[in-house]
Amino acid sequence: MDRSPFYTMDDFDFNGKRVYLRIDINSPINPITGEVVDDTRFIHYLRTINELKNSKVVIIAHQGRPGDSDFVSLRQHAGHLGRLLGRDVLFVDSLIGSAVETAIRNMKNGDIIMLENSRFYSEEILIKDDGAAQKNTFIVRNLSKLFDYFIIDAFPAIHRDQTTLTGFKDIKPNIAGRLMETEINSIDRFMNSKSHPKLAIMGGAKIRDAIKVTGPFLEKGIVDNIIFGGVAANIFLWASGIDIGKRNMEFIEKQDKNYKKLLEECKSLLSRFSDRIYLPEDFMLNPLQTEIKTGEKVPDGQLLADIGFESIKTFSSIIEKAKNIFLNGPMGMYEINEYSLGTREIFNAVSQSPASKIVGGGHTINAINEFGLSDSMGYISTGGGALINYLSGEPIPVIDSLVYNRKKFGGN
């Protein structure tokens, strides 16, 4: 078996060691109480933490961004994680300093500490890795001397070049945690699979993400075909010269100020891959709740809120033939019952398919859970932007850092 390009937890004995564990439990927060309202990400980390039961584990994580309502302390996160583990998780309300150092040096085997939100510190967000910059931060200089190993398991943040993620790569071994390892292996398996047809289903409102992966997917043969739904489909239809209605055009314009450039990218993709891109044949209008064929004039004030019956039939037939499926994004406004049919039927078709499946994106996972399909959707990734960046072939700072670290400490 080929050696992993980065260290994994199989490469070291962590018993009795002090372990720095960087995870990503950035979660939806109740704006009034500060409590975590969706602990999906917490659950993904139980395996890594439980494997370290004989170690001294110090957890570093972030929550929200400065200025946002969910930019809160991790105190309640520590309590929530402790309840899931059935173990005490001590919270220390700082990331660096004497209180942190004392708490870590006094740890016994089996102890778990969670430090304060790393994004409370400007060094985390503002300093990018230009060589010495991260290494000279207070964060790295203070924490690097306290640990034997650094486990980086924050897959949803792999596209972030931030100090607690990539700043320790020159200090000691940096190791992919179990979630990181599983995510990368699952995605690589999909990308490298020789079982065809390979199908991507792209929906939702994040049009830039959908366009970003389309080129690499089709140019490199990662997938054979792409089905588009949601706003992602609308911008391709607009680019092809089809009337999508004033309100839908305005929605796209508000979504991205560079929408004109995105339209040109869509035109280019359609000119090269029109036979491999599938767009909806019909839609359900909101608020009229009537169907309209693609190309018919969209009445003023109407949103293309869901795909129609013909689109459901065509897309389901394509899904039925696929051997590998990547699903990212709903077909429409699934949160409103009257416009949930398209998403529900397409997701049902994916769930019933015997194909190998990988699913990602926050709204996608929410819809899957709402429809009760989570047990039949293959591998459900924790990544949103991270997953899209990885699939589109963009540089991934955290993975690059892990690979560099193994070369530095483990030879070629």
62 belongs to an annotated ligand binding site? yes
16 belongs to an annotated ligand binding site? no
Contact between residue 112 and residue 49 where contact means Cβ atoms under 8 Å apart: yes
25 belongs to an annotated ligand binding site? yes
63 belongs to an annotated ligand binding site? yes
65 belongs to an annotated ligand binding site? yes
291 belongs to an annotated ligand binding site? no
41 belongs to an annotated ligand binding site? yes
335 belongs to an annotated ligand binding site? yes
24 belongs to an annotated ligand binding site? yes
* Sheet strand arrangement including 282-286: 291-293, 282-286, 303-307
364 belongs to an annotated ligand binding site? yes
**Three-state SS string across the chain, please?**
CCCCCCEEHHHCCCCCCEEEEECCCCCCECCCCCCECCCHHHHHCHHHHHHCCCCEEEEECCCCCCCCCCCCCCHHHHHHHHHHHCCCCEEECCCCCHHHHHHHHCCCCCCEEEECCHHHCHHHHHCCCCCCCCCCCHHHHHHHHHCCEEEECCHHHCCCCCHHHHCCCCCCCEEECHHHHHHHHHHHHHHHCCCCCEEEEECCCCHHHHHHHHHHHHHCCCCCEEEECHHHHHHHHHHCCCCCCHHHHHHHHHHCCCHHHHHHHHHHHHHHHHHHEECCCEEEEECCCCEEECCCCCCCCCEEEEECHHHHHHHHHHHHHCCEEEEECCCCCCCCHHHCHHHHHHHHHHHHCCCEEEECCHHHHHHHHHHCCHHHCCEECCCCHHHHHHHCCCCCHHHHHHHHHHHHHHCC
Which residues make up each annotated binding site for ATP? 335, 361-364
Which residues make up each annotated binding site? 24-26, 41, 62-65, 119, 160, 335, 361-364
Which residues make up each annotated binding site for (2R)-3-phosphoglycerate? 41, 119, 160
Which residues make up each annotated binding site for substrate? 24-26, 41, 62-65, 119, 160
